[in-house]
Amino acid sequence: MSCIKDNILNVLSKFVLSANPESIFETVERHYNEPFRAYHNLEHIEYCLKKLDEINSLYPDRFDYEALALAIVYHDVIYKAGNPDKSDEWLSVIYYMDNFGKHIKNILLSNRVAFIIRSTEYFTKVEYAGFTLEQFISEAKIEPECNLMREIDFAILGEDEETYLDYSRKIRQENINIPDDIYYPGRLKALEKILELAKFEILPCQDQAHKNIVNEMETIRKIIS
């Protein structure tokens, strides 16, 4: 845990000017340590930050790495809130703005982080003043960062088979209260969408991700048939 904490504190400390990074980390930690979280926890954040560091070493100065790092820390801070009017991603943005973004003097940077977080909203239609999320991201000139954020968030899909199976088991564990006859058809539908969305241009895991997703889909079809 200390390594994860140190990495996140390193991210937070680059921005905070009027607040204690330790206290901010503690509030973030409480959310990611919620008992039901088997996958969307601090280990996931650590994994994503590691992927970002790997990309930074290969492509220095290509992306806004500071904004991406902060977006990674907050992108799943709210998860399974069950709010019928706002998505978890939108609630994560609100949480970020209320608890951290207000401490950043660079308003443009703070807003960039917010939109990068929102770009991980994969399963609902998002609009801003008549624009789709994709159109808004393009106009805001943060498309490269948003695309990379999605690659990093999806990177687990392109890991080896054993790691992917562990990920899928953890997702099931997070939804253990949902009976099989409801969970598996829903998971199959989600995987179909993920198969469409998971595009890797920077990380070399497109083929393995496709293979892993298709294998899980085939397994689910056998379960529900």
pLDDT digits (tens, 9 = 90+) for 127-148: 544 555 565 555 556 788 999 9
| d(C-alpha 29, C-alpha 158), whole Å | 27
Is 90 exceeded by the pLDDT of residue 53?
yes
Q: How far is CA 189 from the centre of its chain?
A: 19
Give yes or no for a contact between 157 and 198, defined as CB atoms under 8 angstroms apart. yes
Residue 171 in tokens: 């997702």
Look up the pTM and report it: 0.91
Angle between helices 2-13 and 65-74 (to 10 degrees): 130
* Domains of the chain, each with CATH number or no CATH: 2-224 (1.10.1300.10)
Of 79-83, 87-91, 216-220, give the range with the top mean pLDDT: 216-220
| d(C-alpha 157, C-alpha 147), whole Å | 16
The better pLDDT of the pair 105, 98 is held by 98
